[in-house]
Structure 1
């Protein structure tokens, strides 16, 4: 409604009343659709901004498709609106972003990307009664806080680190295995689970060194490890740190196999590592994976994503995309976008997405979560196997 076009002037009180009526009905201008606000948070600035943008684009793609489909919830036309926030992979900025979404009264949140931001932010969403689905946080603590509305669509570090630890000993035949972690909730968590699995498989751990998620000089810790003659080095952290680390390992003449979790398992790693990477020298696992007939759906998603954003999928965009669709489906099933009303439907969801079948256990973890093992050849990721 254009209030200035009315032939009969309205009083200020009447104008305010009309505006309030439009807001109360959840309408925008002449749009009769009820607006449903979905929040998304990821690091769209800083060293891993390429991963945060990847996630945000996955959310945008899902929101656009939902709106194009003309979905109704409880027989009412709806329009989904994405409220995107940047947490820069920083816990303090993460909680500030979470508070903004709580204040905006979003009906649900997809995020955050990192465990270190997801866990503190989850306390705010839980207190506000807002369901949260993380597409990528793998630290087990996230879903073990007892929060009714906390979910994730990928396997956790117990599965991720455990699988990689076993692989290092049994497949790569590692004799002397060293570990480095960046002290974040993610890096420390996945490194600890890796160590447990190495020990359980009878492997020999020769050292554990520490860095940060913002470091770029690793000569001191790498020199310490070089003296222990490792044939496998595992890094718990992200690709922005792993790339320079690989370069410096080569400069120091450390010829060990390099391993990491989904934080390093990106298409960007080969660029970041450059001459520090050689064929079949880097092994990693992505928390998720499809095989068989499901692979066609993922291939189509990647092609559509490339056409839309002129960028390859990094890691998590498909999981963000599915998480948005899962949340919307729960609202449709419940006939309501009220978090308290659609939460039971979210808990009971059974959704076939591009990343596979999505259903949650009593903690909010994905049931029968998959992992995909990769190596790199010719500067590109190459799938080894999908394991569950």
Structure 2
């Protein structure tokens, strides 16, 4: 991890020091976009090939709706790049976006480990960033004034799952997490919430050697009276851990964060995910008109039920179009100001109001449980 952290910092320093003065970059973009005609260019960075999960389809659906009427007399054109969930690729893409003064804003990335360092590149270049998936608290804690997260952060997600665990009367919980920006942040938030609710974290770890090692760990957890496991992981590693945990002989309930909210979880875990409860931020059965219109249009277009990331892709672009129209200009400073002042904008995944840090503050968190090999909504 130390070597990886040094590599990330080194890459980021090279990018930032290779740029012109930040004020010059921001002013150039501001001047260019104040006079720009034609298509409004929006960069999108995402692991499209390997971890798309409906995100591109959500974007395309929103793009079609937006461009029927246009925005500020123009159409939006997406500049899509695949970051492969790689910090190196993500920062390379971020720098290419930063170097293009005709780019109005960026949507991305999927993984917090990529988005957190990339956000600094965008901020340096004056680019507003809409982050629809990265939940690490560090993304908006860095004092960047043009970052807007359209998903609850790990602090809220972790506390919600701790509250759920407390309501189920789990008292002694083990935590397994992925040792990166996402996993550490979510594990910390859950542990803090569990402690505040009077629960005890009996163990916390991020790795095991093999199935025999996990059997030893499971036996220890049994002796310590473990009555639930909180999993701060992403797919597909989360599914593999749950499958191994059941093979190791531990049958206590497993609950997890939004990184496990994937339709692939039940099948990937080979039945071991049955009964699992995970956090999400989108309910296709929500009663509000915006959600139902989105679901109907998505199913009609793609013959599939939309998931969380399809809704997030759709909302991110629709929100950006709304802000452009309300700002009345492509200038990033005014666009960012309009986004910061957004109150109660209704998207497919819920209301969007941003706090001073750029975090969405009123989006509901949904709980889902695996039953009969598929997800069912608990609220």
TM-score by length of 2: 0.84
- Compared CA separation, residues 242 and 148, structure 1 to 2 (3 A): same
- Compared CA separation, residues 115 and 222, structure 1 to 2 (3 A): farther
CA distance in 2, matches of 1:237, 1:54: 20
Deviation at 1:360, TM superposition (A): 0.8
* Other-structure match for 2:297: 304
| Greater displacement, 375-384 / 55-64 | 55-64
Deviation at 1:114, TM superposition (A): 1.5
* Other-structure match for 1:119: 116
- Compared CA separation, residues 256 and 165, structure 1 to 2 (3 A): same
CA distance in 2, matches of 1:91, 1:226: 37
- Structure 1 segment 1-388 matched on structure 2, within 5 A: 34-46=38-50, 49=51, 52-68=52-68, 70-73=69-72, 77-105=73-101, 106-168=103-165, 170-211=166-207, 219-221=212-214, 223-229=216-222, 230-278=226-274, 281-287=275-281, 293-294=287-288, 296-350=289-343, 351-385=345-379
Residues 66-101 of structure 1 deviation map (CA, whole Å, 9 limit, x = unaligned): 112x2241xxx2011111111222222211121122
**Contact 1:102/1:128 (<8 A) preserved:** yes
Residues 150-188 of structure 1 deviation map (CA, whole Å, 9 limit, x = unaligned): 0111111111001111221x2222233111111121111
For residue 318 of structure 1, give the secondary structure of its aligned residue in structure 2.
helix
**Contact 2:285/2:292 (<8 A) preserved:** no
| Greater displacement, 186-195 / 238-247 | 238-247
Larger helix percent: 2
Residue ranges of structure 1 left out of the alignment (5+ in a row) = 1-23, 28-33
Deviation at 1:311, TM superposition (A): 3.9
CA distance in 1, matches of 2:293, 2:326: 27
| Greater displacement, 375-384 / 121-130 | 375-384
Deviation at 1:25, TM superposition (A): 8.6
How large is the Cα RMSD of the aligned pairs?
Answer: 2.3
Deviation at 1:308, TM superposition (A): 2.3
**Contact 2:282/2:307 (<8 A) preserved:** no
For residue 78 of structure 1, give the secondary structure of its aligned residue in structure 2.
coil
TM-score by length of 1: 0.82
